[in-house]
Amino acid sequence: MNKQIFYKLNQLFVEDVAVSEITNGLRTPFYVYSRTVIEENFGRFKKSLEGLDSIICYSVKANSNLSVLETIAKLGGGADVVSLGEYKRALRAGIDPKKIVFSGVGKQDFEIAEILRSSLLQFNIESVSELEMIHKIAIRLNKQAPIAFRVNPDIDAGTHENISTGKADNKFGIPIADAKEIYQYASKLSKIKIVGIDVHIGSQISDLNAFRQTFVNLEKLIYDLKNINIKLENIDIGGGLGIKYTDDDLEPDLQKYGTLVKQILGNLNCRIIFEPGRYIVGNSGILVTKVLHNKKSQNKSFLITDAGMNDFSRTALYGAVHRLIPLSKGKIQKTELYDVVGPVCETTDTFLKNYPVAKAEAGDFFAFLDVGAYGAVLSSEYNTRPLIPEIMVYKNRFEIVRSRPTYDEIFDKEVMPKWE
Ligand code: LLP
């Protein structure tokens, strides 16, 4: 557990706030983030890059709450965005547009136009078709479009197949073997300004060898490009560094990662762009939930929580395991094996299977750990369950940074057409 999320007198605290103080005034489920943890993770990441000309473009998709982005902005971070919506969030939070990279395999013309008209560090282009689309828009707007190509190095990151992106049969990037030819083509387009190269091989990666192999391939390509007079300013190496969710997970060594980057890519006279998401916010968040029922079947005990897969879907999507701990530790710490399930009408609405959890009764509060990344952002209103609140804690204060919509607010977006 992170040192900012801890027990004091058997009560769970996030920084100097007892979580029970929040449950007293706000209906569960809800997310709680520690701003200090985000600051510490960012600081540690930055420190591992000391001596390198670098820029940290936090991957907004991991957690796009404005309060999180504002924290990143204050720390001097940039952003990796994949939609106009994320770009607008980043600007609203005070992130410098010159530190924003626009990634994504399916950028749309209105998004490209608005962002190009405004300002950005670079478009990370994923296909020739997209290059041509951006060029056309740049001509129309009479603007130079700064671009990098995302190359697909055909490397297995050794992670869950649903979050692997660097293999040849993934939809991402241009094949590394075609890169030289595509760069050459782009260099002839009048409104395209080649500024960089980009790669991202996947997420929750613990094997540094996959990174090493990627960087080596990238270095070779950068030399090949130099030989045909294409010089780059930026090398964007994406995100992907994993975190330790359970004892079964290996934690990649951040310092070694930094050293690897410096050794292979540090002397190419380029600025290195990093796009970490999970590493910055993953362990900053908890999901607070209440046990609705404790139900026994023939050979199982179920805890039915008020949080469901619509509020937190990493388990349903990737089989992820997130530990569950009580808000209030009883004097005697007894555990039982439970299946912890949500209230949504789907069998995949299961958080933990046959898992040791503190013995619980209906009405007891619990927290899922390490849900700061890909938690709230992946939620939905399935079963007409309103999006749940997000709270940020900083030292001894907390604030609701996204409130729960009312039912009317949800319904007001819909219409019943009067056909007759
Ligand atoms: N850059 C690009 C181009 C990406 O696609 C991603 C994540 C990142 C950076 C940030 O990766 P990170 O440092 O967070 O690993 N929902 C999944 C993870 C999906 C990752 C998508 N791309 C999960 O909950 O595990």
Please tell me what DSSP assigns to residue 122. E
Does residue 163 register a pLDDT over 80? no
Q: Which pLDDT does position 170 carry in this prediction?
A: 81
pLDDT of residue 333: 72
Nearest partner of 351 among 389, 325, 327, judged by Cα: 325
Which pLDDT belongs to residue 161?
A: 75
From the CA of 349, how far away is ligand 1's center (Å)? 23
User: Residue 57: which of 96, 30, 18 has the closest Cα?
Assistant: 96
**Ligand 1: centre distance to CA 277 (Å):** 6
Band the pLDDT of 330: cuts 50, 70, 90: confident
Considering only 15-19, 74-78, 142-146, 167-171, which range has the smallest mean pLDDT?
167-171
What the block records as the tokens of 121 is: 């560090």
Full-model pTM: 0.97
CA atoms within 13 A on the CB side of 159: 29
Ligand 1 center to 105 CA (angstroms): 13
Atom of ligand 1 nearest to the CA of 198: 3
Ligand 1 neighbourhood includes 59 CB (under 6 angstroms): yes
**169-183, 286-300, 326-340, 372-386, range with the lowest pLDDT:** 326-340
What value does the mean pLDDT take over residues 339-357?
Answer: 96
Read out DSSP for 274-299? Answer: E--SHHHHGGGEEEEEEEEEEEEETT
Question: 234 CA to middle of ligand 1, Å?
Answer: 20
The 10s digit of each residue's pLDDT in 186-241 is 999 999 999 999 999 999 999 999 999 999 999 999 999 999 999 999 999 999 99
Range 152-166 average pLDDT: 79
Calculate the alpha carbon distances from 398 to 110, 114, 402 in Å: 37, 35, 12
318 pocket-lining for ligand 1 (C-beta < 6 Å): yes
Residue 248, pLDDT > 70, answer yes
pLDDT value at position 85?
98
Location of structure tokens 């204050």: 74
Residue-wise pLDDT tens digits, 15-45: 999 999 999 999 999 999 999 999 999 999 9
Report the pLDDT averaged over residues 301-311.
97
pLDDT of residue 154: 87
- Does ligand 1 have an atom closer than 6 angstroms to the CB of 163? yes
What secondary structure letter does DSSP report for 243? -
Decide: 29 in ligand 1 pocket, CB within 6 A: no
Of the candidates 275, 270, 176, the one whose C-alpha atom is nearest the C-alpha of residue 217 is 176
Q: How far is the CA of 205 from the centre of ligand 1 (A)?
A: 10
Element (H, E) at 254: helix 254-265
List residues with catalytic annotation: 345
Q: Rounded to an integer, what distance in angstroms lies between the CA atom of residue 413 and that of residue 346?
A: 26
Q: What is the position in ligand 1's atom list of the atom closest to the CA of 150?
A: 3
Cα 300 to ligand 1 centroid, rounded to whole Å:
35
Please list, residue by residue across 322-350, b when 16 or more beta carbons sit within 10 angstroms of its beta carbon and e when fewer do. Answer: bbbbbbbeeeeeeeeebbbbbbbeeeebb
The whole-number pLDDT of residue 251 equals 87
Are residues 228 and 264 in contact, defined by beta-carbon separation less than 8 angstroms? no
Confidence band for 160, pLDDT divided at 50, 70 and 90: confident
Q: Can you give the pLDDT at residue 14? A: 98
Q: Which atom of ligand 1 is nearest to the CA of 374?
A: 24
CA 245 to chain centre: 15
Q: Which atom of ligand 1 is nearest to the CA of 378?
A: 16
**What does the pLDDT average to over 394-415?**
98
For ligand 1, is residue 125 a contact (CB within 6 Å)? no
| Ligand 1 pocket test target in 275, 284, 311, 378 with most atoms within 8 Å of CB | 275
* Alpha helices, DSSP H, located in 18-127: 19-23, 35-47, 66-74, 84-92, 109-117
Q: At what angle do helices 128-141 and 179-187 cross, to 10 degrees?
A: 10
Q: What is the mean pLDDT of residues 173-198?
A: 97
How remote is the C-alpha of 329 from its chain's centroid?
31
Residue 157's pLDDT is 79
The arithmetic mean of pLDDT across residues 145-160, rounded, is 90
d(CA 1, CA 49): 25
Ligand 1 center from residue 62 Cα (angstroms)? 7
Q: What percent of the chain has pLDDT over 90?
A: 92
164 Cβ inside 6 Å of ligand 1: no
pLDDT surpassing 90 at residue 158: no
Rounded to the nearest whole angstrom, what is the distance from the C-alpha of residue 53 to the centroid of ligand 1? Answer: 23
Could you count the other beta carbons within 10 Å of the beta carbon of residue 369? 19
Q: Is 168's pLDDT higher than 80?
A: no
pLDDT at 164 over 80: no
Q: Which of 2, 4, 5, 16 is nearest to 288 (CA)?
A: 5
DSSP one-letter string for 302-370:
EEEES--TTT--HHHHH-----EEESB--SS--EEEEEEE-SSSSTT-EEEEEEEEE---TT-EEEE-S
For the chain, the maximum distance between any two Cα atoms, rounded to a whole number of angstroms, is 72
Query: Tokens 């992907």 identify what position?
Result: 240
Tens digits of residue pLDDT in 78-125: 999 999 999 999 999 999 999 999 999 999 999 999 999 999 999 999
Tokens linked to 167? 């293999």
Work out the average pLDDT over 139-167: 87
Query: What is residue 332's predicted lDDT score, i.e. its pLDDT?
Result: 60
**204 CB less than 6 Å from ligand 1?**
yes
Q: Is the pLDDT of residue 65 over 90?
A: yes
- Distance of alpha carbon 259 from alpha carbon 52, whole angstroms: 10
Taking only the tens place, the pLDDT of each residue in 124-133 is 999 999 999 9
User: Is the C-beta atom of 238 inside 6 A of ligand 1?
Assistant: yes
Which protein residue's CA is at the shortest distance from atom 7 of ligand 1? 203
Helix, strand or coil for residue 174? strand
As a three-state string, the secondary structure of 363-376 is: CCEEEECCCCCCCH
Q: DSSP character for 90? A: H
**Residue located nearest, by CA, to atom 23 of ligand 1:** 374
Other Cβ atoms less than 10 A from the Cβ of 299: the count is 5
Kindly report the protein residue whose alpha carbon is nearest to atom 24 of ligand 1: 374
- Do 324 and 246 contact (CB within 8 A), yes or no? no
Q: What is the pLDDT of residue 162?
A: 75
Q: Report the length, in residues, of the chain.
A: 420
In order of their start, the domains of the chain are 5-33+282-411 (2.40.37.10), 36-281 (3.20.20.10)
- Per-residue model confidence (pLDDT) at position 156: 83
121 φ, ψ (degrees, to nearest 5): -80, -50
Residue 166 scores a pLDDT above 80 = no
Q: Which atom of ligand 1 is nearest to the CA of 282?
A: 14
Q: Report the residue among 59, 60, 162, 199 best suited for mutation to probe ligand 1: largest number of ligand atoms under 8 A from its CB.
A: 59
